[in-house]
Amino acid sequence: MNKKNTGFNSKLVHAGTIPDDKGSAVTPIYQTSTFQFRDADHGARCFSGEEKGYIYTRLGNPNTDELEVAVAELEKGFGGISASSGMAAVNIVYLTILSQGDHMIGHDALYGPSRGVMEKLYPKFGIESDFVDCTDVENIKQAIKPNTKLLYLETPANPTVGITDLKAACAIAKAHNLIVCVDNTFCSPYLQRPIEFGADIVLHSMTKFINGHADIVAGMLVAKDEALYHDLKYVMINGGFNMDPHQAWLVRRGLKTLSIRIDKAQENSMKVAEFLEAHPKVDWVLYPGLKSHPQYDLAEAQMDGPGAMISFELKGGIQAGKTMMNNVELALLAVSLGGIETLIQHPASMTHSKLSAEARENAGITDGLVRLSVGIEDLDDIISDMNHALSKV
């Protein structure tokens, strides 16, 4: 059987697995910084690329290789480049695609630091950026300049769960020779595969759904084609953005249950979103599975499911939100997302606090917005926790 032609769930379990001569069912952890050569000529052949062989873990390791092959197959890309964190992956993209004098366009409601680092660090290298509401693709067209090189999207976006039309955005980008990078962290390849819509690079904070157990920080890029793969990999290796073998092994283990974790979290999320939307103390709820989501139809067409991220605003704004967050008992009051446990946090004072108040307001990140990452606990327990916390508001 050709394992490359298997279905999504079989790939989750088997893709990239490295056969072990001792018969181990699971790839062992290659916790080594360096690899022995058989002799001097073998070492020289490995360095020249004449022979594929492991040299030094920053350049490649069986555990990172296994994970890269698996995620690239799931995303239907040419190859994966693992990185120490999601932010390492973001910076690899910026450093690879952008040169002095270039311009990039990003969605305005990205994960805070993905936008923050571009606005704070990159201007000193002569790189400009504009962050616009890409959920209306007309805004992308308007923002394109002669020096624009990169379109950086995140859909659904953190924390507004706004959806960008990937097919339309990629078509605009291609007409202007822009590289498109899509942060697919909120979906994982189980719910959305941006390369199918024309993206060039897919980015993941694997800290989230792909690992899924809130015990690792990790990132991944998947390149659509070979040239881009080598360009990104050069920056990963020489920037020192590499992933550790043990980290890769843990993420590969978490990946095996991606679909069943998301199925359960998503089933819970739909019910939690409906519960919140009907609650008298809740002003509004944003969840791609609710008909009230402004891009409900687009989400249905583009994603294979609405995911497990919900944003909502309480009547009474931030004060009410704080009271709710201080009164949850099952959910953890913590940033991050996509794990098996339910997490609640306040973007304006936490994940997106480094953006200016104006940037947050323009991106729809209101001061009263509360973000929920729904876990796989019993639905009744999650709802009774929310109900209890809301009763204190």
Q: What is the phi/psi pair of residue 331, to 5°?
A: -65, 145
Among 61, 64, 91, 205, binds ligand LCS (CB under 6 A): 205
Q: How far is the CB of 39 from ligand LCS (least distance, A)?
A: 41
Binding to ligand LCS by residue 62, rule CB under 6 A?
no
What six digits make up the tokens of 373?
């990452």
Contacts with ligand LCS by CB under 6 A: the residue count is 17
Binding to ligand LCS by residue 217, rule CB under 6 A?
yes
Binding to ligand LCS by residue 337, rule CB under 6 A?
yes
C-alpha separations of 135 from 109, 132, 153, 161, 171 in Å = 10, 9, 10, 10, 14
Which candidate in 45, 56, 58, 76 is catalytic?
58
Cβ-proximal residue to ligand LCS, closest one: 86
Binding to ligand LCS by residue 342, rule CB under 6 A?
no
Maximum alpha-carbon separation in the chain: 74
What beta strand segments (E) does 84-200 contain? Answer: 103-107, 128-132, 148-154, 179-183
How are strands ordered across the β-sheet holding 148-154? 79-83, 219-223, 201-205, 179-183, 148-154, 103-107, 128-132
DSSP-assigned letter for residue 34: B
Binding to ligand LCS by residue 111, rule CB under 6 A?
yes
| Known active-site residue 208 | yes
Q: How far is the CB of 336 from ligand LCS (least distance, A)?
A: 4
Give the number of other Cβ atoms within 10 Å of residue 308's Cβ.
33
Binding to ligand LCS by residue 185, rule CB under 6 A?
yes
| Known active-site residue 111 | yes
Q: How far is the CB of 185 from ligand LCS (least distance, A)?
A: 4
| Known active-site residue 183 | yes
Binding to ligand LCS by residue 87, rule CB under 6 A?
yes
My answer on whether omega of the bond before 62 falls inside 30° of 0, hence cis, is no
Restricting to residues 280-309, which ones interact with ligand LCS according to CB under 6 A?
Answer: none
Q: Contact 148/104 with Cβ under 8 angstroms?
A: yes
Binding to ligand LCS by residue 335, rule CB under 6 A?
yes
Residues 6 or more apart whose Cβ sits within 8 Å of residue 124: none
Among 27, 61, 85, 155, binds ligand LCS (CB under 6 A): 85
Which candidate in 30, 94, 111, 190 is catalytic?
111
Residues 6 or more apart whose Cβ sits within 8 Å of residue 5: none
Nearest CB to ligand LCS, comparing residues 46 and 160:
160
Nearest CB to ligand LCS, comparing residues 46 and 223:
223
Query: What is the distance between the alpha carbons of residues 107 and 118, in angstroms, rounded to a whole number?
Result: 12
- List, by residue number, the catalytic residues: 58, 111, 183, 208
- The residue ranges that bind ligand LCS (CB under 6 A) are 85-87, 111, 114, 154, 158, 183, 185, 205, 207, 217, 219, 335-337, 351
